[in-house]
Structure 1
């Protein structure tokens, strides 16, 4: 067992308890002041309180405390499958990654999915619940020919860039080479940092990362989804200030997570897709692209700017901005807003039109 995964010492537990009191104080305070939040806060009272507590928690607890409190991605998958009375279907991949099947793994079409969490947080139970909900919605509409291959990648600080991208490429390589799927029947998708990975894998297909084995495909992928994709670590757009008291993220949190991910390296087109020259996207290997964002998230400006330039080169891009939604709310605020958010609906409709 690594020192990171060792149980907390008595003193560290005391510190954790103190930190819990600090977060509880924020909860009690915001529970009162949220009634007077006005237009500066999230539209829904419960979302406003939840996001304020999330921001405080992420900067108060140490990274180690945060991870030790959380359920690892693979264990969350096992629990999710057990809750549905199903056996886990996990596949070991190269470079220490694992893939988890959701739905019928023999389905004609596959969505390779990369979870968000700043490359630091584990895939959450809500990720699996959301994706299963999307499959249910698609099945109800007569589209029962899609399965999801969910990647467990190594989170920071246990590995840093470009390990997570290498593992993401391997998930696609596995589906192509080991299951025999045609690229035309494969979608890539992800939320937040996972949206970053889905776009970076797409870039790797035509402009391989110098440290990652190239992956050539015979024809374009069916499509790529970036849900609130974290495409740039530069946080100087107006939404950072405008949505500072609405969103569950803050500049301090994102700066900490991007620093952990890059680990001293300079950002490049594969770590921050917004840095890729626009002509790199001209021979994009995907038929269609969907990007979504929440109007009330701090990443909105950077997503807006990226998509505006991207669409000039890739006109088969659909961009949906969800009114009154904060960052990745169908995952991180699911207990409050549920799974049927505007962005979820956009993804279900977009997939349904292509299955």
Structure 2
């Protein structure tokens, strides 16, 4: 079968050009109608009018013919060069052969690389103000907003102290190439990077829509090599694969196609037409390469030896949702390190859509990807890139929120934790989960537990669910959720238990840096499953009560003389030999007669801070003593002086990466001090002292 001449790409006849203009004339009326009729739909409740109009524009444009779309958007090379010029980054390209090229987003770096296989494009010529994504499906080039998206991620990861090269593959589009040409070109790109010295453990693949399909084709080829495609030989598993709304079936008519027909950025008819263009030239024996959802049970067996972990995302209101979920659930059986994220109310590639309406720094769904950027991620430093998912309370099985609780949730969702300007070793990190739920009167309550009496530390104390970071935890949120699941059975489902925010870290008495993770339980029908070895009882307390000296409950007769809130001060040696004062807070629970201890210490301080953020005002008592050190300063002082931190830095190979000057400044240590912990003499002296102590 002869293919069209590629030199004709983007060229229209006079009739086709006039048809394009005529097709776009009704666009303003269509967008206005959609904005007026869809803005009150529950799916769009969390979307702005601008976003709804943007989605409608995109939906309309996807109805154009393939030649019209290709003519309007241009080529990979033109889009990339125009974007590079506008963003003042160098134009860097590598010729791969087979008409494939690798374009670098920002500086070319080959120590760590994320290879992006695109499946998107924009429509700047046809609709210059909208810059819309039209779902490339092997038919259209890369989009400028997606390049800006990855460049933004690159810059943010650099702030974390990790330099990553981001590149995208320019492959031949349909109908000028058929299967397996894009796969051949993807194999060339992977082999090029491996030959350039990129270690598999430092390589990640990411793909959206058709690009996600191409990622899965590449994985299938490694497991089941095609004879006419260059083999990919890996010395070790690659670091990760990120599939964003992957097109796992090109011929599907799953229920979500009908359910979400009115919402998504294209119609089932358009999607079916695009799929038919691609599938008509795919041999039946190779159909699994193109339709991963149809793979046999053992097709992806061994995938866990090819890629360390896989993240799959989908929008709850997109056409592909059911296919993506079906694929992910099946794939998990072959690869246990697979995570599926379905965004409530999200459209196709919803995580990118903010970049198309000028809100390009909302990257909540990207957090897990950033967490995979380093072999040994530093959870605390990931906080500054964290964007929580939108809270959608519509139809949630919870009591109605009162006005104060609504404001509190808005305040929490708007909160951005101030990151520490230095790394914390993973072995010194821990997290607690501040799990909120809505009470009968619409107030917010926090879940607390009484620790088991058999525990070696803090037995019987009142605490929040939490614990130390596990080697498998990718983010500090993972740690908090995992611990809560293990201790009280709180589901890991991020739709039932979404994340409003992550708070600033605190220093525990055992020198762990503890980060509070705030979640909201959206299903009050959930029932706890207590791990008796760790938790003896579970109870709740009003969040706002941690801002008041007045008890939120009737005082028991035997406690009538005991204040609801008390505090005790203590002194310790601070920086520069100056004595500092610490303060310990205590709150009665009203359950002391039943053996429940008061909330005190670190748990009390964390809940005071959470309540202050939520209700946007301080408590009616003094939290800090006049000479107290704020939490970041206490953490920095511990890092500066405590041998446990120094040993952890050395063990994790982070000593040379620590900004000791930042530590000194945050701790408030005088510049002329001679107690610099990073000096080689100081380290050696401390080692000798500890070895001597261990022998005694």
Unaligned runs of 5+ in 1: none
Deviation at residue 42 of structure 1 after TM alignment: 7.0
Deviation at residue 110 of structure 1 after TM alignment: 0.9
Give RMSD over aligned pairs: 2.2
> Do 1:224 and 1:286's aligned partners in 2 also have CA atoms closer than 8 Å?
yes
Question: How far apart, CA to CA, are the structure 1 residues paired with 2:58 and 2:45?
Answer: 13
Stretch deviating more after TM superposition (78-87 or 307-316): 78-87
Superposition pairs for residues 260-271 of structure 1, below 5 Å?
A: 260-265=277-282, 266=284, 268-271=287-290
Structure scoring higher RCO (CA < 8 A, sep ≥ 6) equals 1
Structure 2 counterpart SS, 1:222: strand
Deviation at residue 71 of structure 1 after TM alignment: 2.9
Stretch deviating more after TM superposition (231-240 or 146-155): 231-240
Superposition pairs for residues 329-348 of structure 1, below 5 Å?
A: 329-332=350-353, 334-336=355-357, 337-348=359-370
Deviation at residue 55 of structure 1 after TM alignment: 2.2
Partner of 1:75: 78
Superposition pairs for residues 312-351 of structure 1, below 5 Å?
A: 312-332=333-353, 334-336=355-357, 337-351=359-373
Distance 1:175 1:7, change over 3 A: closer
Residue 257 in structure 1 maps to residue 274 in structure 2? yes
Question: How far apart, CA to CA, are the structure 1 residues paired with 2:234 and 2:273?
Answer: 36
Residue 25 in structure 1 maps to residue 43 in structure 2? no
Question: How far apart, CA to CA, are the structure 2 residues paired with 1:353 and 1:318?
Answer: 18
Partner of 2:577: none
Aligned length: 351
Question: How far apart, CA to CA, are the structure 1 residues paired with 2:67 and 2:227?
Answer: 31
> Do 1:40 and 1:242's aligned partners in 2 also have CA atoms closer than 8 Å?
no
Question: How far apart, CA to CA, are the structure 2 residues paired with 1:72 and 1:82?
Answer: 16
Deviation at residue 87 of structure 1 after TM alignment: 2.0
Deviation at residue 352 of structure 1 after TM alignment: 4.8
Question: How far apart, CA to CA, are the structure 1 residues paired with 2:15 and 2:61?
Answer: 19
Deviation at residue 112 of structure 1 after TM alignment: 1.3
> Do 2:261 and 2:267's aligned partners in 1 also have CA atoms closer than 8 Å?
yes
Partner of 2:232: 215
Question: How far apart, CA to CA, are the structure 2 residues paired with 1:8 and 1:280?
Answer: 42
**Structure 2 residue aligned with 1:14, among 11, 18, 24?**
18
Structure 2 counterpart SS, 1:93: strand
Q: CA deviation digits over 1:156-190, x for unaligned, max 9?
A: 1111221111111111011112x022222211111
Partner of 1:114: 117
Q: CA deviation digits over 1:26-63, x for unaligned, max 9?
A: 12322332344x2255741333332233222222x221
Superposition pairs for residues 40-79 of structure 1, below 5 Å?
A: 41=44, 43-44=46-47, 45-59=49-63, 61-79=64-82
Question: How far apart, CA to CA, are the structure 2 residues paired with 1:94 and 1:278?
Answer: 35
Q: CA deviation digits over 1:94-129, x for unaligned, max 9?
A: 211100112442341111110011111210001110
Distance 1:344 1:319, change over 3 A: same
Residue 302 in structure 1 maps to residue 319 in structure 2? no
Structure 2 counterpart SS, 1:112: strand
> Do 1:51 and 1:249's aligned partners in 2 also have CA atoms closer than 8 Å?
no
Partner of 2:259: 242
Unaligned runs of 5+ in 2: 120-135, 378-696
Q: CA deviation digits over 1:118-162, x for unaligned, max 9?
A: 111210001110101111221222222x11121001111111221
Distance 1:198 1:152, change over 3 A: same
Give the helix-richer structure, 1 or 2.
1
Partner of 2:222: 205
Residue 180 in structure 1 maps to residue 186 in structure 2? no
